[in-house]
Amino acid sequence: MGAALVSAGYPVTGVSARSRASRERAARLLPDVPVVEPAEVVGRADVVILAVPDDAIAEVAGSLPFTEDQYAVHLSGAHGIAVLRGIAATPVALHPPMTFTDAPASLAGVVFTATAPDRALVERLVKDLGAEVQWIAEERRALYHAGLVHGANHLVTLVSQAVDVLRAAGIADPSATLRPLLTATLDNTLRSGHDALTGPILRGDVDTVQAHLAVLRGRPASTYAELARATVELAAGDGRLDRETAARFGEVLERDRTGEAPR
């Protein structure tokens, strides 16, 4: 965020970096910005960004010498402004739904999600970053964040499991095999929602799913059965899977859950 703000022309007056890794990252991404103590960062800035873990926001914010003419901006998706209750500064919850690594990241096109009593600063800052902003109620932030985590973090788990299964099947380059399929599936799903669903459940191939469960038994890809149940419900819910076939899938998946031998 600091590097993006510098690129947008904002004067970043100080950064706090305690660990060696953080200091190295600051030197790489913000080479002209002094590394100082958190209280000094607050003393230098009009807008203070609290880029700390979710569970540390309240404690860190409460320990800093904020004044009434400052803005305190945290980047958590799960929290709104209640976590900043009690500080003198104007509170802002501003979450960029984007994954960040040690390299500079473009925020162009990212849709930030914000909760704040003062919208003018947020809209100006986000616009200057080349991004967009959507507003969300305080009480909906946990639900919003759950959707992001389920879609992004659990996607890493799912794809990693799929790579392991393909490697066990003898595929030399699982990533190359999966990439076109996953890319097309993700694009189609983001565009068309559950109408993008294809595969054995939608086709009613109960025996195929039963064979999958048999070969996956004991492997780390234990989420297959749970996701298959959810997929059956999805396909049956909008009528694309008939009730009888959905029931047969349910029987197969229940037998797998209880460890009962296939019939």
| pLDDT surpasses 90 at 218 | no
Q: Does 57 fall in a domain?
A: yes
Percent of all residues in the chain with a pLDDT value above 70, rounded to a whole number: 97
263 in a domain, yes or no? no
| pLDDT, average across residues 206-219 | 91
Cα end-to-end span (Å), the chain = 57
Same domain, 157 and 225: yes
Instruction: Looking at the structure, tell me whether residues 157 and 181 fall in a common domain.
Output: yes
Instruction: Quick: pLDDT tens for 115-129.
Output: 999 899 999 999 999
pLDDT, mean of residues 219-225: 79
What three-state secondary structure class fits 63? coil
Same-domain check for residues 110 and 176: no
Amino acid at 34: P
For residues 13 and 93, membership in a common domain is answered with yes
Are residues 12 and 128 located together in one domain of the fold?
A: yes
Domain end residue (candidates: 116, 136, 156): 136
Which one, of 80, 44, 92, lies nearest residue 64 by Cα? 44
Task: Look at residue 259 in the predicted model and tell me its pLDDT.
Answer: 72
The verdict on 148 and 247 lying in the same domain is yes
DSSP 34: P
Q: What is the mean pLDDT of residues 204-226?
A: 88
Q: Are residues 170 and 93 in the same domain?
A: no
* 71 pLDDT higher than 90: yes
Q: Inform me whether the pLDDT recorded for 221 exceeds 90.
A: no
pLDDT of residue 224: 92
Cα(47)–Cα(144) distance, rounded to whole angstroms? 25
Query: By the 8 A CB rule, do 90 and 74 touch?
Result: no
| Domain total of the chain | 2
Q: What is the mean pLDDT of residues 203-211?
A: 95
Hey, how many other C-beta atoms are within 10 angstroms of the C-beta on 49? Answer: 19
**Domain boundary residue, one of 112, 136, 160:** 136
Contacts of range 162-171, beta carbons closer than 8 Å, 24 or more positions apart: 162/221, 164/219, 164/220, 164/221, 165/216, 165/219, 165/221, 168/219
| 151 shares its domain with 110 | no
Domain shared by 96 and 22, yes or no: yes
Cα torsion 161, 163, 167, 173 to 10°: value is -170
230 and 157 both lie in a single domain? yes
Cβ neighbours of 202 (radius 10 Å): 15
Domain's final residue, options 96, 112, 136 = 136
Alpha carbons 178 and 258: distance in angstroms, whole number: 31
- DSSP-assigned letters across all residues of 157-177: HHHHHHHHHHHHTT-S-HHHH
Kindly indicate the confidence band of residue 8, based on its pLDDT and cuts at 50, 70 and 90.
Answer: very high
Task: Find the helix or strand (DSSP H, E) in which 50 lies.
Answer: strand 47-50
Contact at 8 Å (CB) between 166 and 174?
Answer: yes
Residues 98-112: what's their mean pLDDT?
Answer: 83
More confident residue, 106 or 173: 173
Residue at 33: amino acid letter? V
The distance of Cα 66 from the centroid of its chain, to the nearest Å, equals 30
* Domain interval for residue 200: 143-258
* Mean pLDDT over the full length of the chain: 93
User: Has residue 173 been placed in a domain?
Assistant: yes
Taking only the tens place, the pLDDT of each residue in 129-153 is 999 999 999 999 999 999 999 999 9
| Whether residue 167 sits in one domain with residue 123 | no
The per-residue pLDDT for 83 is: 97
pLDDT value of position 217: 86
92: nearest Cα among 55, 140, 57, 65:
57
156-165: per-residue pLDDT in tens?
999 999 999 9
pTM (2 d.p.)? 0.84
CB atoms within 10 A of CB 235: 22
